[in-house]
Chains A and B, each alone.
Chain A
């Protein structure tokens, strides 16, 4: 797909859940490559394992789940071999994540500025709120929030879903994360806001960020992504550049996902 070396490469990842004697293979041998300045889309229906995969990248799988095999290589170093403490240094600072329900991803009783301060402070114990506020304002403006002062002093419940999602993106930016995992970032937003957030992702990509876009919506993929992986039952069934796959979908499931689009066209 790309000749450059991947920033993040997932190799043969297996994440299983052990429930009542049964083994659910949520992610079963997935490999993906993520490049700087490109948006890599992971497409799949619900239960396909795409969200579990994104949490596995950060090694945030809780019991009864377990990553049983594979590698997550960030600049060639395997994150799965990192200690919990080392991983905490990676989470948020090098790999940031945004979620499907932006208003649920922010603590309702904690002000935005405290969230942003925390994002920085976790990785830099010497950080002081007063020295950071100017930077926060700039970052909020950069993600399209035109009243940064008001937003900083707000509680998340006082903001709209779209605004919360922008705050989430801004929290990835204040730590200069290289990789942004966006897990269904637009699914709970209205169409106008959806378009705005996707534009935001495109802008981040232009600025050189590597974006992993997890979605069930091929329309979103067609608009924004460069590379795509189709995931079904924990396995990648098709991959390639968006152009290639859309021009010539080889897998049955990919064609099934595309069907509504081809009918409309």
Chain B
């Protein structure tokens, strides 16, 4: 089947991407982290001397040529073994996986919320284009796209947590508390998607198949929902994939405001102390999540637009 073949092709295409990014992650952090042997020793509380440095270099394989180091590192990385954090002395995988699910939940919820808000708003704006609802939605989306998310987050927390007391102020990353941080993050994306979707819908609304659907007896709104949306949403699906990369890397400000124990804050703190194994593991895990989500979106895209198979 063509569709299955295309999906397999996409999976195969991921392999070079993974190789290149792992190479860059390995190489970049080797360059930027300074002397790894020195950092490792200090993290173990050993005074770096000539002998101890030489010993640790031998132990870590730092005397091997860089490609060999990379292969060795990659072999372990394939087993999700990125070594031990300099900072906490716990396995990197453990450190990351105690935080990453919270980030993933937040990223997925925010992406979904953005689409859930954008679709009805864009439909409404298109149906009543150039009249009041359209203008209101346009102004709202301009504001939404430009307001800093930490400000929105603080205001929401103040309003729902302090004034109305219906949301906990220090929530922690429990799934039942996800709405406020996810909503905060979703606003800027909802605003962008609304505008893109409205633009596409207005274009599509002029096409013959919408006119033909109305000539068959569908209402203008009905024709937009049944025939416009499926075509108009395709570019938005691409955008969701691109933006997911930003979301899944962690959102330091939002995590801090909503005391959400995500990967963002942890990654930043590790970058400050050049905690090399964690940074490498972080890059790889984020990349994997990004790639997998985009693969899923590719499949969704294919199911919405059968023309992809032909290309």
Contact = CB atoms under 8 A, between A and B. Distances in A.
B189 to A, nearest CB: 24
B219 A110 contact: no
Contacts of A171: 216
Given A99-B212, A101-B208, A155-B306, A107 B217 contact: no
A106 interface: yes
A133 B230 CA distance: 24
B307 A92 contact: no
Contact of A97 (B215, B230, B305): B215
Contacts of B217: 88-93, 122-123
A186 to B, nearest CB: 15
Given A109-B304, A110-B227, A91 B216 contact: yes
Contacts of A88: 217-219
A91 B215 contact: yes
A99 B208 contact: yes
Contacts of B214: 60, 91
Which range contains the number of B residues in contact with the other chain? 20 to 34
Contact of A96 (B215, B218, B226): B215
Contact of A105 (B209, B226, B310): B209
Contact of B207 (A96, A104, A123): A104
Main secondary structure of the interface of B (DSSP, over half): helix
Contacts of B231: 107-109
A253 interface: no
A199 interface: no
A246 interface: no
Given A107-B227, A157-B307, A122 B218 contact: yes
Given A92-B217, A122-B218, A155-B306, A105 B230 contact: no
Contacts of A109: 230-231, 304-307
Contacts of A97: 212, 215
A165 to B, nearest CB: 12
A168 interface: yes
Contacts of A84: 219
Interface in B179-234: 207-209, 211-219, 226-227, 230-231
A97 B307 CA distance: 26
Nearest to B210: A107
A114 to B, nearest CB: 9
A155 B310 CA distance: 12
Contacts of A107: 209, 213, 227, 230-231
A123 B207 CA distance: 23
A105 B208 contact: yes
A72 B230 CA distance: 34
A105 B212 contact: yes
A171 B216 CA distance: 9
Contacts of B307: 108-109, 155, 157
What 7 pairs across the A-B complex have the smallest Cβ distances? Answer: A92-B216, A92-B217, A104-B208, A97-B215, A122-B217, A105-B212, A91-B217
Interface of B: 207-209, 211-219, 226-227, 230-231, 304-307, 310
14 contacts: A89-B217, A90-B217, A92-B215, A99-B211, A105-B209, A105-B211, A105-B212, A107-B231, A108-B231, A109-B304, A110-B227, A118-B216, A119-B216, A157-B306
Interface of A: 55, 58, 60, 84, 88-93, 96-97, 99-101, 104-110, 118-119, 122-123, 155, 157, 168, 171
